């Protein structure tokens, strides 16, 4: 199942530049970095249950999966494998095709995780957040509480919405949005890959881009640990156009703040030609 939460979509599915100079395709550079959480090491034996992937050649695909609980790592591994393998076989050419491709990949990963659960008789679940760049549009697909953002004009805009009990209560106006971060329901994830009772509802978004915008996806070990907008502003100032250094800076900030949970970040940067 899928739901499209995009604020707007081109009627013919074509990606259009916002001004004339953007008709020249930029070079896209992508990077990722991950670190396991210090507070979880005793339970997990030092194992990081997050997984990430970026297409290092084109820079057009960024992926983060956060395996739930002590044994979620294999589920996250399957999710990333399905995305990366599918990407190498066939790549969508426009926004509508990308959304169909993403929903198919999410559901394939879900089925593969269920097969693993049946063979091992252990429940394994994972979040999954993906960004695909198509010209001057970023298409996000999302299940869980890992997040997709766009850094644009000095501001960090959250594109995705957490699939948590706390966020649902806020949407129903039963609690204030400002209280979501501290609510006990923020760790009750309602949509994941690998849950047996129902297939996940994949939420889809497409966001117009301009030169200088940076799409990024991250696990909650990043977004819950630091003031991501403040730290990303500093990373962008210190390392303009350097995707790897920006990733390193953010994860080092997480480590400095205690890194209570596994923390993973993937992002892509457009460079003028």
Output the tens digit of pLDDT for each of the chain's 273 residues.
Answer: 677 776 544 444 444 444 444 556 788 999 999 998 876 544 455 689 999 999 999 999 999 999 998 789 999 999 999 999 999 999 999 999 999 999 999 999 999 999 998 777 777 899 999 999 999 999 999 999 999 999 999 999 999 999 988 888 888 888 888 878 788 887 889 999 999 878 899 999 999 999 999 999 999 999 999 999 999 999 999 999 999 999 999 999 999 999 889 999 999 999 876
Domain coordinates in residue numbering, the chain? 2-6+17-271
d(C-alpha 265, C-alpha 62), whole Å: 9
Q: Classify 134 in phi/psi space as left (phi over 0), alpha (psi -120 to 50) or beta.
A: beta
* Burial of residue 43, with CB atoms counted within 10 A of its CB: 0-12 exposed, 13-18 middle, 19 or more buried: exposed
Closest CA to 83 of 117, 50, 52, 124: 52
CATH topology of domain 2-6+17-271: Phosphatase 2c; domain 1 (3.60.40)
Distance of CA 32 to the CA centre of its chain: 11
> How many other C-beta atoms lie within 10 A of the C-beta of residue 160?
22
Contact predicate 48/269, CB 8 Å: no
85 CB-side CA count, 13 A: 11
Distance of CA 182 to the CA centre of its chain: 22
* Run of H or E residues at 203: strand 202-208
């Amino acid at each position: 199942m899928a739901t499209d939460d995009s604020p707007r979509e081109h009627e013919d599915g074509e990606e259009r530049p916002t001004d004339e100079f953007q008709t020249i395709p930029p070079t896209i550079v992508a990077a990722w970095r991950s670190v396991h959480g210090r507070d979880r090491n005793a339970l997990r034996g030092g194992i990081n249950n997050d997984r990430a992937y970026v297409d290092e050649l084109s820079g057009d695909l960024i992926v983060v999966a956060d395996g739930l609980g002590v044994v979620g790592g294999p589920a996250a591994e399957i999710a990333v494998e399905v995305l990366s393998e599918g990407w190498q076989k066939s790549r969508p050419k426009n926004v509508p095709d990308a959304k169909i491709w993403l929903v198919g990949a999410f559901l394939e990963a879900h089925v593969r995780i269920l097969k693993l659960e049946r063979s091992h008789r252990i429940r394994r679940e994972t979040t999954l957040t993906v960004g695909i760049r198509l010209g001057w549009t970023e298409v996000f697909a999302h299940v869980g509480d890992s997040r997709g953002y766009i850094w644009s004009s000095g501001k960090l805009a959250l594109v995705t919405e957490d699939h948590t009990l706390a966020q649902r209560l806020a949407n129903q106006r039963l609690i204030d949005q400002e209280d979501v971060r501290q609510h006990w329901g923020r760790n009750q994830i309602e949509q994941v890959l690998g849950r047996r009772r129902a297939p996940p509802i994949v939420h889809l978004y497409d966001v117009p881009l301009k030169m200088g915008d940076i799409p990024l996806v991250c696990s909650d070990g990043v977004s819950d640990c630091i003031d991501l907008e403040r730290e990303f502003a500093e990373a962008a100032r210190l390392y303009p156009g350097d995707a790897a250094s920006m990733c390193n800076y953010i994860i080092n900030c997480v480590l400095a703040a205690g890194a209570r949970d596994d923390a993973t970040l993937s992002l892509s940067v457009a460079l003028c030609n």
